Amino acid sequence: MFSTPAFCLGLLNPQWVGLGTRKRSAALYGGLMAVSFVLLGVTAPKTPQPVSSGLLASNEWPEFKVSAPLR
């Protein structure tokens, strides 16, 4: 959560985030951002799958076969 602002501040002035150079600041906080985004994606809750209730969906219609014309 704090790596994004620290990354931006470190590019402006590395002494503000306690590192000596912009390169070192970008490497540390950029890597921390990448790792946190990956971990967020891995640990995010899965979307629930719909449970089939046996009813037809709104776009599915049963096929009726007519064997003889109706009178």
Q: Token pair of 34, please?
A: 């990448």
Alpha carbons 30 and 26: distance in angstroms, whole number: 5
Residue 18 has pLDDT above 80, yes or no: yes
The residue behind tokens 């899965």 is: 46
29 closest CA partner among 18, 40, 45: 18
Residue of higher predicted confidence among 51 and 16: 16
CA dihedral for 7, 32, 25, 16, sign (positive or negative): positive
**CA neighbor of 2 nearest in space, from 15, 24, 17:** 17
Task: Write out pLDDT tens, residues 32-66.
Answer: 999 999 999 899 888 887 766 655 555 666 676 76
Res 55: pLDDT: 59
